């Protein structure tokens, strides 16, 4: 998508969007390559035991076509929502590609979500089917009676408790399928994003979202793709960072993707994987980089052949960038975006020097500015709201079934990111902070509302307020201030029980790592929690 250019200015001057009226993600990332060169490598899947399986574009097309036929015969039609509750795996790729070819809407779901988190997302999206594994099926069995729209559950590792054996049924379906001729603006997937108040919101994206991502992906990986590129990320494909920053754009370019779901991520296993499978490009969230940085003598212990490292979610400091140059032999490129409008800002050492602590410059094709509260662009150096001008191919269509939240996201023609910053005289965007209560922890953006609702479901909790507390490794940790019911005594055992309550119902990355019992919570006259008052205490 990016034009040829040796400087940032040349890229900006020469760039033009090329968004066709009709476009389908599934045929673009799979069938186009399979028809030209069916043996071309698409995925290398690394199992838990370290064994690996290579999957060609031809196999990817055949597998996704069989799945599209199975789902079509099972009642899934254009516009229907289907949950994908799987880790990085071949089946995850098959499912996404099949659903896009069908014109259905994929709903990626994080495997660490607990029953409550899954129930909300599947219920809100009215998903009619879910593709999962045995672990996911166990969680779904608990909530399935409360999901009237959920007709079928397919499992990839054998039949389990009223589910259907996906692989057994796929054998009976043909490997040819006529894809739906979708328009670029037709909906393709819903990714749920953190809500600062109340439950998460489903960001509905069109098929064009992949094309909108390409300039940012290409820029953050120093004019990706180049000969010999092979990409990997530890980020789960249920999140926009793993799915549309890595998997789909790599397949679009015919670049092989290494897939691996770690039982536990450590710096050592990451280095070993990159060495063993010749990873040339990686998206490594800041927390992953910090964990890898803690490994001693990494540069001498592993033989790496890295061309690019990209990172996003928070700005990196001078020391981390210097470490990256020493260990990987490259300067880590930073990028910025959010689920609703991603990969809109990036650095790119191929065309401009890095500036530690500054997130980057606007990616070609995206009109990014700092605006006042009334939507007026501000002059250089003045603090304001980081915003993106609409329309933009990477921008979401709407929040699913939430028109008011959609309306609140925009001020006139500007999409407000919820972040504040300023732009310097060279166009570099400086991040200052968030103007809402989203918590950034270990690369995840976590909304306090869902956690607070879960906490008050505990018998001992009367009220709760959740904030982010600064943390050296994770950026922030989730901290809960809790007002107990009358007569309940505080104890470390009770705190652990409350933590487990959240971990089992929402997700392991969302439970409060720190709990403080309080006698009262600061509130406005209208009954809203004043989170800033509690944040300032930490």
If we measure between CA atoms, which residue out of 232, 293, 299, 304 comes closest to residue 266?
293
Q: Which residues contact 288 (CB under 8 A, 6 or more apart)?
A: 234, 265, 270, 443
* Contact status, residue 40 vs residue 57, Cβ threshold 8 Å: yes
If we measure between CA atoms, which residue out of 91, 39, 44, 89 comes closest to residue 70?
91
Q: What is the reported pLDDT for 313?
A: 76
If we measure between CA atoms, which residue out of 213, 209, 249, 219 comes closest to residue 233?
249
For the chain, give the longest Cα–Cα distance: 71
- Per-residue confidence of the chain (538 residues) as pLDDT tens digits? 999 999 999 999 999 999 999 999 999 999 999 999 999 999 999 998 889 999 999 999 999 999 999 999 999 999 999 999 999 999 999 999 999 999 999 999 999 899 999 999 999 999 999 999 999 999 999 999 999 999 999 999 987 888 999 999 999 999 999 999 999 999 999 999 875 556 899 999 999 999 999 999 999 999 999 999 999 999 999 999 999 999 999 999 999 999 998 888 899 999 999 999 999 999 998 878 888 988 999 999 999 999 999 998 777 878 889 899 999 999 999 999 999 999 999 999 999 998 887 889 999 999 999 999 888 999 999 989 999 999 999 999 999 999 999 999 999 999 999 888 899 999 999 887 666 677 888 878 787 877 887 898 899 998 888 999 999 888 899 999 999 988 999 999 999 999 999 999 998 889 999 999 999 888 654 455 677 788 877 6
Strand duo 398-399 + 410-411: pairing: unpaired
Q: What is the reported pLDDT for 293?
A: 87
Angle (deg, nearest 10), helices 115-125 and 134-143: 70
DSSP class of residue 155?
Answer: E
Question: Six-digit token pair at 178?
Answer: 């006529």
**3-class state of residue 85 by DSSP:** strand
Q: Facing residues of 486 across strands?
A: none
SS3 letters for 119-151? Answer: HHHHHHHCCCEEEECHHHHHHHHHHHHHCCCCC
3-state helix, strand, coil in the chain (%, to 5): 30, 25, 40
* CATH number of this structure's domain 439-535, picked from the four choices 2.40.110.10, 3.30.300.30, 1.10.260.40, 3.40.50.10860: 3.30.300.30
Phi-psi region of 364 (alpha: psi -120 to 50; beta: other; left: phi over 0): beta
Question: Six-digit token pair at 210?
Answer: 């992949």
If we measure between CA atoms, which residue out of 111, 120, 200 comes closest to residue 447?
200
**3-class state of residue 466 by DSSP:** strand
**3-class state of residue 21 by DSSP:** coil
* Contact status, residue 19 vs residue 184, Cβ threshold 8 Å: yes
* Contact status, residue 96 vs residue 90, Cβ threshold 8 Å: no
Q: What is the reported pLDDT for 318?
A: 82
pTM: predicted TM-score of the whole model, two decimal places: 0.86
Give the distance, in angstroms, between the CA of residue 431 and the centroid of all CA atoms in the same chain. Answer: 20
If we measure between CA atoms, which residue out of 37, 32, 67, 74 comes closest to residue 177?
67
* Contact status, residue 211 vs residue 1, Cβ threshold 8 Å: yes
Q: DSSP assignment of 321-368, as one string? A: HHHHHHHHSSPPEEEEEETTEEEEEE--TTTS---TT--BEEPTT--E
Q: What is the reported pLDDT for 231?
A: 98
The residue extents of the domains of the chain are 20-206, 439-535
Give the domain 20-206 fold: Rossmann fold (3.40.50)
């Amino acid at each position: 998508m990016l034009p040829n250019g040796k400087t940032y200015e040349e890229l900006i001057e020469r760039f033009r969007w090329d968004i066709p009226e009709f476009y389908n993600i599934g045929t673009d990332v799979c069938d186009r390559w399979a028809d030209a060169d069916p043996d071309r490598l698409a995925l290398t899947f690394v199992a838990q035991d370290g064994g690996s399986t290579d999957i060609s574009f031809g196999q990817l097309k055949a597998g996704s076509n069989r799945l599209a036929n199975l789902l079509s015969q099972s009642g899934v039609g254009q516009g229907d929502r289907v949950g994908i509750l799987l880790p990085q795996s071949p089946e995850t790729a098959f499912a996404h590609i099949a659903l896009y070819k069908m014109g259905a809407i994929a709903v990626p779901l994080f495997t660490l979500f607990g029953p409550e988190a899954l129930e909300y997302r599947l219920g809100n999206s009215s998903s009619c089917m879910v593709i999962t594994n045995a672990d996911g099926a166990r969680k779904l069995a608990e909530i399935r009676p409360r999901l009237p729209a959920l007709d079928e559950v397919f499992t990839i590792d054998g039949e389990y408790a009223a589910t259907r054996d996906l692989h057994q049924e796929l054998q009976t379906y043909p490997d040819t399928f006529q894809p739906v001729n979708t328009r670029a603006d037709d909906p393709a997937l819903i990714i749920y994003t953190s809500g600062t108040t109340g439950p998460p919101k489903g960001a509905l994206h069109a098929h064009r979202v992949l094309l909108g991502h390409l300039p940012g992906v290409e820029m953050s990986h120093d004019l990706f793709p180049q000969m010999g590129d092979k990409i990997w990320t530890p980020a789960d494909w249920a999140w926009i960072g793993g799915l549309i920053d890595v998997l789909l754009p790599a397949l679009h370019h015919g670049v092989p993707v290494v897939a691996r779901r770690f039982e536990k991520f450590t710096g050592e296993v990451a280095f070993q994987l990159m060495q063993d499978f010749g990873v040339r490009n990686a998206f490594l969230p800041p927390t992953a980089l910090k964990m890898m940085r803690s490994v001693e003598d990494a540069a001498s212990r592993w033989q790496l052949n890295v061309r690019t490292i990209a990172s996003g979610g928070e700005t990196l400091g001078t020391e981390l960038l210097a470490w990256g140059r020493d260990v990987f032999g490259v300067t880590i490129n930073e990028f910025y975006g959010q689920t609703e409008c991603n990969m809109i800002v990036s650095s790119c050492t191929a065309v401009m020097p890095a500036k530690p602590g500054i997130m980057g410059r606007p990616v070609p094709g995206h009109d990014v500015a700092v605006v006042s509260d009334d939507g007026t662009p501000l002059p250089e150096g003045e603090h304001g709201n980081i915003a993106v001008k609409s329309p933009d191919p990477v921008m979401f269509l709407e929040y699913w079934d939430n028109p008011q939240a959609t309306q609140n996201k925009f001020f006139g023609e500007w999409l407000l990111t919820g972040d504040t910053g300023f732009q310097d005289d060279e166009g570099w965007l400086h991040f200052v902070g968030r103007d809402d209560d989203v918590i950034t922890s270990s690369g995840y953006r976590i909304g306090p509302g869902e956690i607070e609702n879960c906490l008050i479901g505990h018998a001992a909790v009367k009220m709760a307020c959740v904030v982010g507390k600064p943390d050296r490794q994770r950026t922030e940790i989730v901290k809960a201030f809790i007002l107990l019911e009358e007569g309940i005594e505080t104890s470390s055992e009770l705190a652990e029980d409350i933590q487990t309550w959240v971990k089992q119902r929402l997700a392991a990355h969302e439970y409060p790592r720190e709990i403080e019992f309080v006698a009262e919570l600061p509130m406005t006259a209208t009954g809203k929690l004043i989170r800033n008052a509690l944040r300032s205490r930490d």
